[in-house]
Amino acid sequence: MKPSPVFADAPVTIFEKMSGLAREYGAINLGQGFPEDPGPLALRERAAEAAIHGWNQYAPSRGLPELRQAVADHYNRMQSTALTAQEVIITSGATEAIAASVAAWVNPGDEVLIFEPAYDAYRPLIERAGGVVKSVVLKPPHWDLHQEALIAAIGPRTRAVLFNNPMNPAAKMFTAEELATLARVCIANDLLVISDEVWEHVRLGDRRHLPLALVDGMSERTIKIGSAGKMFGLTGWKVGFVCAPQDLIDPVARAHQFLTFATPPLLQTAVCEGLGWDASWFEAMGRDMGNRYALLRHSLEAEGFRCLDSDGTYFLNVDLAASGIGLGDAAFCELCVREHGVAAIPVSAFIQGGGQGSIIRLCFAKPDDVLLEAAGRLGRARKIFTKR
């Protein structure tokens, strides 16, 4: 008898679904988070050159030595860490890095804490490893992390936290106080933290990114994950980094060798070059995203929408109820993509049993004219729904 399929009940990811609908209806796609821009030419040229003249067979499983060194140097320079190349491995995207970290460290029956709304891969990856998800639901508009909620979610079988900062889809950067709270609780309960920091350079204001591993007592219990795709706006490249002390990273490297084994060397070579760029390049990228955020936000507010604050990521969240729209987020997104030519993501998709939510996520990493057109279309949709 054939086995039953494991992910039979899992929905097609909301990103795939909305991008599919956007294509089908010819809508502006502000759903799945990727920039419209093709990414830095210098890196694409470097990858092309490496494809023609470089090594195109398997890379070492842990990554090209020069890239592991470049990742360590990059973080040491930009974030004052003290990483060595041995404490870095390269994966095929951050999602693989998360999968490898979970596969390496979550045992059947282990409870793992997540914060919802949570990136959609976290829950299925933990559950597939036999782990049990414990969720702390953060509430808009500020998505504050409270110590009591954290402590209430922890039991004798809790082993790890899968954390995301800056947080997708909330577009939140946790404050130093919130990180200190998280650290205190993790240390008191001797928890491991898988810290997904892929949005670390996509900061929309002046606040600095605080790597969790740098909070006192956290370096020895934190597996940090980064992403070249997010750093350079090359999301299709799927080049991720894992950084952790030797005893934490070695098991992740073992898991990675059985997942993808290695990552395309031409992409690693190109990423290596980008990581060496001056801090000013990354600051300019953040400023550019900040300008796009401001443009979309102002245009939507002019149309009567209420927006939540974004500290980081490519995303702006809109509160439908506060904007006078009595429709649930999923229903609004369905109607918008089919009838009004804009694809967005309903945030309730990131909360297990989230029911009808009221917040939609829009990606602003698009040209100005596209953002203005989308805001106009959404404004017309709003007028119809507020009249209903």
Q: Does 91 bind ligand GLN (CB under 6 A)?
A: no
CA distance 247 to 47: 33
Q: Does 164 bind ligand GLN (CB under 6 A)?
A: no
Task: Please give the size of the binding site for ligand GLN, defined by CB under 6 A.
Answer: 5
**From CA 123, how far away is CA 346, in angstroms rounded?**
17
CA dist list (Å): 184 to 38, 111, 345: 42, 18, 34
Minimum CB separation of residue 313 from ligand GLN in Å reads: 8
Residue 323 contacts residue 378 (beta carbons within 8 Å): no
Cα–Cα distance measured from residue 351 to residue 145, given in angstroms and rounded to the nearest whole number: 16
The answer to whether 15 contacts ligand GLN (rule: CB under 6 A) is: yes
Closest CA to 74 of 90, 59, 50, 62: 90
- Minimum CB separation of residue 93 from ligand GLN in Å reads 9
Is 346 a binding residue for ligand GLN by CB under 6 A? The answer is no
Q: Which is nearer to ligand GLN, 13 or 189 (CB)?
A: 13
Residue 124 lies near ligand GLN (rule: CB under 6 A): no
Binding mask 308-327 for ligand GLN (x = CB under 6 A): --------------------
In the bound state with ligand GLN, the residue whose beta carbon lies nearer, of 83 and 342, is 342
Question: What DSSP designation does 235 have?
Answer: G
Q: Within 165-184, which residues bind ligand GLN (CB under 6 A)?
A: 168
Closest separation between CB of residue 235 and ligand GLN, Å? 7
As to burial, measured by CB atoms within 10 angstroms (0-12 exposed, 13-18 middle, 19+ buried), residue 287 is middle
Q: What's the closest the beta carbon of residue 315 comes to ligand GLN, in angstroms?
A: 7
Q: Shortest Cβ distance from residue 354 to ligand GLN (Å)?
A: 16
Residue among 22, 33, 122, 125 that touches ligand GLN (CB under 6 A): 33
Q: How far is the CB of 123 from ligand GLN (least distance, A)?
A: 14
- State the residue number with the nearest CB to ligand GLN: 33
* Residue number with CB closer to ligand GLN (123 or 159): 123
Q: Cβ closer to ligand GLN: 32 or 219?
A: 32
**Which of residues 13 and 86 has its CB atom nearest to ligand GLN in the complex?**
13
CA angle (108, 109, 112) in 5-degree steps: 100
List Cβ neighbours of 241 (8 Å cut-off, separation of 6 or more). 71, 88, 89, 90, 91, 94, 97, 225, 226, 227, 228
Q: How far is the CB of 33 from ligand GLN (least distance, A)?
A: 3
Residue placing its CB nearer to ligand GLN in the complex, 13 or 147: 13
DSSP 140: T
Applying CB under 6 A, does 117 fall inside the site for ligand GLN?
A: no
Quickly list DSSP for 258-323: HHT----HHHHHHHHHHHTS-HHHHHHHHHHHHHHHHHHHHHHHHTT-EE----BSSEEEEETGGG
> Smallest distance from the beta carbon of 360 to ligand GLN, in angstroms?
13
Q: Would you count residue 32 as binding ligand GLN (CB under 6 A)?
A: yes
**Which CB, 33 or 40, lies closer to ligand GLN?**
33
**The token pair that represents 193 in the structure block:** 């933290």
What is the C-alpha separation between 377 and 388, in angstroms, rounded? 17
The least CB distance from residue 168 to ligand GLN, in Å, is 5
* Cα 35–Cα 41–Cα 43 angle in degrees, nearest 5: 95
d(C-alpha 313, C-alpha 165), whole Å: 10
User: In sequence order, what DSSP letters do the residues of 351-375 get, joined into one string?
Assistant: STT--S--EEEEE--S-HHHHHHHH
**30 vs 106, beta carbon nearer ligand GLN:** 30
Between 313 and 323, CB nearer to ligand GLN: 313
Does 240 bind ligand GLN (CB under 6 A)? Our answer is no
Contact 367, 310 (CB under 8 A): no
| Smallest separation (angstroms) from ligand GLN to the CB of 32 | 5
CB nearer to ligand GLN: give 32 or 323.
32
- Looking at 33-161, list the stretches that DSSP marks H as alpha helix, in order from N- to C-terminal side: 41-53, 65-79, 94-105, 122-128, 147-153
CA separation for the pair 193, 195 (Å, rounded): 6
Residues engaged in binding ligand GLN (CB under 6 A): 13, 15, 32-33, 168
